[in-house]
Amino acid sequence: MIANNTGFAPYVVGCEPEEISNAYVCEASKLGVMVFESNDYDKMDRSMQPIYVKRQGTEMENKLNAMMDHVWDGFYTG
């Protein structure tokens, strides 16, 4: 089951919309998770988001945002 993300879910082969759950149910055997991690020396001082992802030949377009960090960044403590 994946989120009903209109920029992604309709393009996943093997997934069908499930309106009651507001999700897509997938029979796909290959779904993955994309993780970005900065190796820069100043990775705790700056971030790399948003990141825009598109799939050529489709209308798929997603804006990825960063997860909340767990350090002081001037706004909150983690």
- Does the predicted model carry a pTM greater than 0.85? no
What are the residue ranges in the chain where pLDDT is below 70?
67-78
The pLDDT, as a whole number, for residue 20 is: 93
- Of 78, 69, 76, nearest to 47 by C-alpha is 69
The pLDDT, as a whole number, for residue 43 is: 77
Gap between the Cα atoms of 40 and 14, Å rounded: 38
Gap between the Cα atoms of 17 and 63, Å rounded: 21
The pLDDT, as a whole number, for residue 63 is: 82
Show Cβ contacts of residue 44 under 8 Å, excluding neighbours closer than 6 positions. 69, 71
- Of 74, 66, 67, nearest to 45 by C-alpha is 74
pLDDT digits (tens, 9 = 90+) for 58-70: 777 788 877 665 6
The pLDDT, as a whole number, for residue 78 is: 54
